[in-house]
Structure 1
Amino acid sequence: MAQKPSIPKGTRDFNPQDVAKRNYIFSTIRSAFETFGFQPIETPSFENSSTLMGKYGEEGDRLIFKILNSGDYLKDLRSDIKESYVFSLIFTEIIDSIERLIRIDKDLFSYEEHINGALELYKNITPVEKELLLLYFKENKEDIFSLFTTEINDAGVFSQVIVRKRNLIIDIYNRYLNKEEIFYLPRATKKISEKALRYDLTVPFARYVVQHQNEIDFPFKRYQIQPVWRADRPQKGRFREFFQCDADVVGSNSLWQEVEFVQLYDAVFTALGLHGVTIKINNRKILSGIAEVIGAQDKLIDFTVALDKLDKIGEEKVKEEMLGKGIPQSGIDKLQPLFSLSGDFGAQVTELKSILETSEEGRQGIEELEFINKGIEALGLKTATLQLDVTLARGLNYYTGAIFEVAAPEGVKMGSIGGGGRYDDLTGIFGLKDMSGVGISFGLDRIALVLEQLNLFPETITNTVKVMFINFGEAEAMASMKAIKVLRENDISAELFPDKKKTVKQFNYANKRNIPFVVLVGESELADNTYTLKNMASSAQETITLDALIFALK
């Protein structure tokens, strides 16, 4: 029976039209990146797990796709699992044996018989089981052998000892099952995964900077357009495999970089025809200041992760999550003004100043936001709007200053189509201190969905071939191929229909491919060394020379 073809959830196939549309977005973003002075780099699709883990917060770490090590590493693991199963069975047999001893009538008690049986049981356990038992009893200063060889003549005393030993073994067994104590065997220490697919492009970029720091001129402006992977729950606009388009600057503390990134967002979305996007901005120092004011400094990540969900789950659910994370009700009450902030950028900043007047870090965050806003007001934006959003947290561990998130135009139901921020200490985790960085990302797949929804893709981008030659036979095909070679040398995309089929079928094929022009080279054209060019949209056609054909198709 043939296997039904399928792909993993959260992934997609792209047809030629989809790819053309995506390439249009890539080209637009790449052009803007280079206009703003960014240089391209690429990094591997997977990194060492240690590079990625612990950089995205608890929620992010759970979404990292881990890669199993190659080779038959499972062989030893299967053996360990099998022996662990036998180990559990041997514990059960020991417990059953002791319980039988306790139930034996004292008058019929045969000490030697049961001790010999228990001793034989111990001798037959596997080395793995023996090692586990010895590890436990070494810790408890007990001799495993004495469990079965204690010489007690009095049956009553013996029964008491057996009960104590039975409880001790049950304790070992339960602790083993509940993983309260993990007994590592030499083989079991072999790792099954040491690599992972990259979760984003920022952390690999930080690794790249540290690893190549002696080859880089700082400040270093790079852009990167590559796929990333996240073990997320697939839904509209959220995929497990998707492209990110990132631009970052490292080696500069200047807030002019943030001003430029706001302009870069504006330039790209204007070029794509996506007018009316909102560039939301916040500052992690403001969030830290708020956490300080409400007495939750030690729960900053829990606080920001919950606050970041305000637009998704609402005020009450956010408060419930904060309470669940141990943030006191008195502190949550102090947050109430945040849930009702309104007005323009300046009005919200004024309200924040009153909340954060006791926090030095919070005041610094406000000053940075004011600098960025002042720069944008002076320079202006083409079609985007800059908006302060104090609930914006993005839930990531590494942002330390400005935080960005881009929302689609009003009326379009879609998650963020871009985001980023400043990460002063990201490279520090790889050993390079005092290297400030700031960057933004474009969500290609969501941008494509928005452009599709608003019908903003130019009609011409899906025309992969400009002209197709009809195949009338071997001689005509050879003449067509010679002309096609010349057209291609003049940067005109052209092709020959490969098979000699009915002319109507060849024309239908050109229509389905949205090929705008068709050339006919029949007997008369072959004799006159001419070409009949047909416009598929208007049905107009003319017979012309090769030079004229080139001119017409340019």
Structure 2
Amino acid sequence: MAQKPSIPKGTRDFSPVEVARRNYIISRIREQFERFGFQPIETPAMENTDTLMGKYGEEGDRLIFKVLNSGDFLSKADPALLDARDAGGLAPQISEKALRYDLTVPFARYVVMHQNEIEFPFKRYQVQPVWRADRPQRGRFREFYQCDADVVGASGLVQELEFVQLYDQAFHSLGLHGVTIKINHRKILSGIAEVIGAGEKLTEFTVALDKLDKIGREKVEQEMEGRGISRGSIERAAPLFELSGSPAEKLGALRTLLSESQVGLEGVAELEALFEQTHELGLSAAAVALDITLARGLNYYTGAIFEVAAPEGVQMGSIGGGGRYDDLTSIFGLKDMSGVGISFGLDRIYLVLEQLGLFPETLERSLDVFCVNFGDAEARAALRLVMQLRSRGLKADLYPSPAKLQKQFKYADKRGVPFVVSIGEEELKAGQFMVKDMRSGEQHQYALNAWTTFADRLQA
């Protein structure tokens, strides 16, 4: 007996309804991208390994899927490393390519390679799958889609403000209200590390701090200590865990805490302006909040950081995130190129919309009209009608063979078709077709040469 097939852990098949729902989300987000002036690009699923490694921090690097070189890849490997089973040393010798971890680093590579063809500031959006060797769980997969928007070649707070507005408008278009856009600033985090005496441990500090909402304060402090941050520095960071009140009140407290840090005060000033202007412009679907523990654990952010939380009561991780990365392209040789971008977590947004019942019912309808097949002559007439209805933009189909009527109607019912058309021998002689409304059971007759009347009814 043949072994039952399977798919890799953390990946999924998608049914027609699931694809329709995913495309619905993408189309709504894409519409907002283009309204905000972003242009689409695509990059390869695989990048050179050295393009990706070292861009996501120690934890991120471990989650990159590496692709083995083709052919006899072991013949070029160092025998000593093979004997020692040194996976870390062998990896660069047997794997020169890797699946992309996100869309931001490939975008930075794209900008550098195509800089002479691009008009700056360059606003791009990208909707493609990415891969991470993460532990699969609800809302976290090893293969998933990202929807990104980035702008490079423009500095100033206007871009951050625009991305807050973009998030808000995209979720509003999906009917998803009550989301929270959490904001922080890497300069504030740098300032905190500086004033507590852990400036040289900024990465270790932020990686641990970013886990506060997942593992709690006690374990975060233990992790900081395990990463080489002194107990004294951890204790001096205590006020950080106790900030409360409005964004203005929190930023006021941070001004006091960071009074001796120039970089920290710069971050406070930028966020004060961002929150003030966001309040002036107003939001439709989202609220903004200052989350001083937000670090997003990625090395390339240098300014404002964003993370979007689902509405209260929905158990889900972040459904979007991003930030400013003023020097990302410099790692590929292009200096002084400021950038900022955000990402939508498509798969998690899908789960949230599903849980809240926000998908339109029409997405489950793959056909508007289904024609029953009574035989060759009747089928030819039905096919002409199908083609005419399709010309009007309706989704119409004909059963491929003259099977039993019960079987054909059962098929139509399972497809959720609202209208079934019958052109039997009598209808064909009379130059007519019969339409049954599958919801009400009512039937109506139309002349074949007056099919537009039926089409008008469906599209009214």
Q: Same fold (TM over 0.5)?
A: yes
Aligned residue number for residue 305 of structure 1:
207
Aligned residue number for residue 13 of structure 1:
13
Aligned residue number for residue 379 of structure 2:
477
Distance 2:429 2:139 in 1: 57
Give the superposition deviation at 1:75.
Answer: 4.7
Give the superposition deviation at 1:42.
Answer: 0.4
1:121-270 to 2 correspondences below 5 Å: 191-270=93-172
Distance 1:248 1:472 in 2: 55
Paired residue secondary structure (1:452): helix
Task: Give the gaps of 5 or more residues in structure 1.
Answer: 86-176, 183-187
Q: Deviations over 1:457-477 (max 9, x none)?
A: 010012121111011111111
Give the superposition deviation at 1:499.
Answer: 2.0
Aligned residue number for residue 52 of structure 2:
52
Aligned residue number for residue 111 of structure 1:
none
- Aligned partner of 1:547 among 446, 452, 460: 452
Partner AA of 1:252 in structure 2:
A
Paired residue secondary structure (2:219): helix
Aligned residue number for residue 74 of structure 1:
74
Distance 1:284 1:44 in 2: 30
Aligned residue number for residue 184 of structure 2:
282
Partner AA of 2:286 in structure 1:
A
1:152-551 to 2 correspondences below 5 Å: 191-545=93-447, 546-551=451-456
Partner AA of 2:18 in structure 1:
D
Distance 1:76 1:212 in 2: 33
Give the superposition deviation at 1:74.
Answer: 2.9
- Could you tell me whether the CA contact under 8 Å between 1:421 and 1:440 is conserved in 2? yes
Partner AA of 2:390 in structure 1:
R
Give the superposition deviation at 1:235.
Answer: 0.6
Task: Give the gaps of 5 or more residues in structure 2.
Answer: none
Give the superposition deviation at 1:271.
Answer: 1.0
Distance 2:221 2:182 in 1: 22
Distance 1:84 1:487 in 2: 65
- Among the aligned pairs, what percent are the same residue? 64
- Could you tell me whether the CA contact under 8 Å between 2:57 and 2:298 is conserved in 1? yes
Give the superposition deviation at 1:76.
Answer: 5.8
TM-score, length basis structure 1: 0.80
Identify the structure with the greater helix proportion: 1
Give the superposition deviation at 1:486.
Answer: 1.2
- Could you tell me whether the CA contact under 8 Å between 1:259 and 1:372 is conserved in 2? yes
Give the superposition deviation at 1:355.
Answer: 0.7
- Could you tell me whether the CA contact under 8 Å between 1:294 and 1:332 is conserved in 2? yes
Paired residue secondary structure (1:465): coil
Partner AA of 2:170 in structure 1:
V
Aligned residue number for residue 41 of structure 2:
41
Q: 1:178 to 1:19 in 2, by over 3 A?
A: closer
Distance 1:517 1:200 in 2: 44
Q: Deviations over 1:203-231 (max 9, x none)?
A: 00000001000101110000000000000
Q: Deviations over 1:53-99 (max 9, x none)?
A: 0000000000000000111223565x948x987xxxxxxxxxxxxxx
Distance 2:337 2:92 in 1: 36
Distance 1:190 1:390 in 2: 38
Q: 1:313 to 1:189 in 2, by over 3 A?
A: closer
Paired residue secondary structure (1:196): strand
Distance 1:246 1:434 in 2: 22
Paired residue secondary structure (1:25): helix
Paired residue secondary structure (1:259): helix
Partner AA of 1:547 in structure 2:
T
Give the superposition deviation at 1:247.
Answer: 0.3
Q: Between Structure 1 and Structure 2, how many residues are aligned?
A: 454
TM-score, length basis structure 2: 0.96
Distance 2:75 2:136 in 1: 33
Distance 1:340 1:359 in 2: 20
Greater Rg, structure 1 or structure 2?
A: 1
Paired residue secondary structure (1:410): coil
- Could you tell me whether the CA contact under 8 Å between 1:531 and 1:549 is conserved in 2? no
Q: Deviations over 1:248-279 (max 9, x none)?
A: 00001111111010011111111111110000
Q: 1:84 to 1:434 in 2, by over 3 A?
A: closer
Aligned residue number for residue 64 of structure 1:
64
